[in-house]
Structure 1
Amino acid sequence: MFFILIAAVGLGNGLSDGVYSNYFKEVYQVTAVQRGLIEFPRELPGVLCAFMIGMLGFLGDLRVSFIAQILAILGVAMLGLFTPSFGVMLIFLFINSMGMHLFMPLQDAIGMSLAEPDQIGRRMGQYFSIRAAFNLIAALLVFFGFRTGFFTFHTSIKWIFLVAASALICAAVMTVAMIRKVKPQKAVRRKTKLILRKQYRYFYLLTILHGVQKQIAFVYGTWVIVDLLLKKADTLALLTIVVGFISIFFLNMLGEWMDRFGIKRMMYIDALTFIGIYIIYGFVVWGITSEALPSQGLSVWIVYLLFVLDRLSMQIGMVKSIYLRSIAWNNDEITSTLSMGISLDHVVSILAAIAGGYVWSQWGSQWVFFMAAAFSLGNLYVAYRVQPDKEKAVAEKMRLEVQKVEI
């Protein structure tokens, strides 16, 4: 049932989140600066995530997941049924984003709780692979829908958002089925304060760095294609299809690599791929904007390749959650720490989006990517500093002490 839940969420998010950049451009004609500012109401729910989890956490992860689906449905359905003013659109976008962000730490926590202790990497790879497969299906629907004219942003009703809402309704129904089957007990209300353990410092640093990298990958990497290359939703859908198809296999391999090579080596791979991709991205964009490279032909294909590689490299980020689980002092801290990590991620995301829009318009679009490459040096520092085996041993010792106290 969890596989079905992940699949439905992947389909719903792929049909909504995957086309927002084109929606903003075609319906509201936003500029690069405005595109960065839109990220404030869109990413603010991520900042509030830890506090929402803290307030609702006593209900249990599955019940909070149901609330998350309802919020996501409400927001995207309103965008589908109406073409509101820009300000009202931001309110519905906020509601949809609140549901999406609320589910983020929960899906990792629920997934890891269902996984066998010695196969967490493999199971997480399977969960992510299922989601990628349905993101691929969503991309196919987007491509053929826009190519045939069934989906369009130039009508009063945006059918693509209503189809997305339908998929999320399936996710909500499946969540209810899981609640009835598992019958989770209500837990003690979680504290919303930040768990300041020295043990978690590298996890929090990785989430902060991820906030910058995510904005570059999902906002400005996309904006290069939409604004500089002037491509439509069907082009982005084709690229998403490629990413989704590769991800089905890549994520399964990634999960196996996590178990085989360990956390530290995968962190090195994560860091080096980000640094390399963003440096190349910056030089290619610089070449196109300065007309040293043509805005068509080989240059475009290089941008497409970088887009795909960037999306794939983002998926290596699952190592953060696996790292956290291995060093957590008790299982009750995992969900709250993941949600706090998402809040830190999104504080940085908002700042990075606004700063990125300013840098894009004032200094040049290439500097957005050079800035991301510089921040990714932080990933390399974390990979060098972490000692997963020693940290895991400390965590296991603390768990035993906690159990003794409880007994």
Structure 2
Amino acid sequence: MRYSKTETYDRKERSQSDKERLRALLNLGLGIFGLSFATGIQGTIYTNFLVEDIGIEAHQLGVLESIREIPGLLTAFILGALLRLAEPFLAGASLILVSLGFGAYYFVRGLPDLIAFSFLWSLGLHCWMPLRSSMILELSEPSSEGKRLGQMNSVGFAAATASMSMVFLASTWLSMSFRSLFLVAASMALLGSLATFMVPGKSQRIEKPRLIIRRKYWLYYGLSLLDGCRRQIFTTFAVLAMVQAFGAPVGHIALLMLFNNIVGFMAASHIGRLVDRIGERSSLLISYGGAIPIFLGYALVPDITILYILYIIDSFLFIFNSIALVTYINDSAPLEDLIPSLAMGQTVNHLAAVTFPIVGGILWSILGYDKTFFMGAFATIILALMALGIPKGRLHKP
């Protein structure tokens, strides 16, 4: 089959464009790998570090987590002021803040230090998250956004799996201290920032509003708000329950996270394709409907083995809404609204994330840890009802 000169030129242009797209995705994937390796270390040892090294109590953890989530409230305003800069530059700079915060944990002596350094890396991480999603969407082929988001989630899970393995070996065989492991995490976040800087940077092609709140996105804002409640209650208090209430050692937590991330690595890309196929409404109903009995299980079941299993299932289900919420706003908003909308969604998400750790910590201290998880179940029921407001099937970008 022969092609005209014009057709041949177009094919070469498309081929070159595809190569540039894949090269950019590779660099972004390396950035995601570095950060996910770092946060994998942090997530595995964080609770044990707080309990065993610092001696933190549940109510103190609630205060710490609430202050740590404040940067999430500021994301829309921070990124709104910086959107004229290239997204890869902003993302790489964000990972440098993560690296500095993790590295500073080596010097922590008490709660004030912990709050300051946690705020630093949290600021970087919360600026990174909407930029990461926006860059993936921009580099995705049409109607393949869920697929690309799932693939990048798989990269993150692979990195986290590697980091969990390292933590397990380091804590079991090498007797590495928590503080030394935080230095390793800082190094990996720094490497991730270097890779992200190599993603081709662009000045903004269009004039993007710095800050937007639009009535037509109310459902996205509402889902983001309560999703912050669901996420924060589980991520803050599920591991604390296993460590403090049931005495789970760091080796068991590392193995749990390791297996959890293996499952995520194997499932994320398939879940992304499934979101592309069945749409956001069904995907969110799967996630929220499945999370309700998991919260009830943490409130009522006294068997730590079952709690381990429920933790893995919840992390699996969370992949659905982490992808579906992004594709929902991507398909609902025009390009010029995307980053401001993602940032605003993260800001309202953290209205709940700042509030509910304190409420959950108070409930835990006064009434027992089961009441904290009952609150999570109630919030997830409301989320499932709200998800019914999304049209069936995959939406189409305006």
- 1:327–1:388 CA contact under 8 A, matched in 2: no
1:310, 1:201 → 2: CA distance? 26
Count of paired positions: 371
Q: Which residue is equivalent to 2:4?
A: none
Q: Which residue is equivalent to 1:118?
A: 143
Q: Which residue is equivalent to 2:296?
A: 279
**Partner of residue 172 from structure 1, selected from 177, 184, 193:** 193
- 1:105–1:338 CA contact under 8 A, matched in 2: yes
TM-fit CA distance, 1:189: 7.6
Q: Which residue is equivalent to 2:176?
A: 151
TM-fit CA distance, 1:228: 0.4
TM-fit CA distance, 1:78: 1.4
1:352, 1:315 → 2: CA distance? 22
1:187, 1:32 → 2: CA distance? 47
Q: 1:386 to 1:188 in 2, by over 3 A?
A: closer
Counterpart of 1:302 in structure 2: which amino acid? I
The answer on 1:63 being equivalent to 2:67 is no
**Partner of residue 339 from structure 1, selected from 339, 343, 346:** 343
Is there any run of 5+ residues in structure 1 with no aligned partner, and where? 289-298, 397-407
Q: 1:63 to 1:237 in 2, by over 3 A?
A: same
Counterpart of 1:163 in structure 2: which amino acid? V
Q: Which residue is equivalent to 1:400?
A: none
Q: 1:189 to 1:272 in 2, by over 3 A?
A: same
1:201, 1:236 → 2: CA distance? 38
**Partner of residue 103 from structure 1, selected from 112, 120, 128:** 128
**Partner of residue 259 from structure 1, selected from 258, 273, 276:** 276
The answer on 1:311 being equivalent to 2:315 is yes
Counterpart of 2:374 in structure 1: which amino acid? F
2:110, 2:306 → 1: CA distance? 37
TM-fit CA distance, 1:187: 6.3
What per-residue deviation string (whole Å, max 9, x for no partner) do you get for residues 123-154 of structure 1? Answer: 1110101101111111111111111244224x
1:42, 1:11 → 2: CA distance? 20
TM-fit CA distance, 1:11: 0.5
- 1:60–1:187 CA contact under 8 A, matched in 2: no
1:201, 1:133 → 2: CA distance? 35
TM-score, normalised to structure 2's length? 0.89
What per-residue deviation string (whole Å, max 9, x for no partner) do you get for residues 316-367 of structure 1? Answer: 1121001111111x21211111111111111211111000001111122111
What per-residue deviation string (whole Å, max 9, x for no partner) do you get for residues 60-111 of structure 1? Answer: 211110210111111111112x233321221111101111111011111101
The answer on 1:79 being equivalent to 2:105 is yes
Structure 2 counterparts to residues 223-372 of structure 1, below 5 A: 223-284=240-301, 288=302, 299-317=303-321, 318-328=323-333, 330-372=334-376
TM-fit CA distance, 1:51: 1.1
TM-score, normalised to structure 1's length? 0.87
TM-fit CA distance, 1:374: 0.8
TM-fit CA distance, 1:192: 4.6
1:24, 1:376 → 2: CA distance? 28
TM-fit CA distance, 1:17: 3.4
2:66, 2:368 → 1: CA distance? 22
SS in 1 for 2:73: helix
Q: 1:121 to 1:283 in 2, by over 3 A?
A: same
**Partner of residue 185 from structure 1, selected from 191, 203, 221:** 203
SS in 2 for 1:349: helix
1:176, 1:211 → 2: CA distance? 29
The answer on 1:5 being equivalent to 2:31 is yes
Q: 1:192 to 1:232 in 2, by over 3 A?
A: farther
**Partner of residue 47 from structure 1, selected from 73, 76, 84:** 73
Query: What percentage of aligned pairs have identical amino acids?
Result: 26
RMSD across aligned C-alpha pairs, in angstroms?
1.7
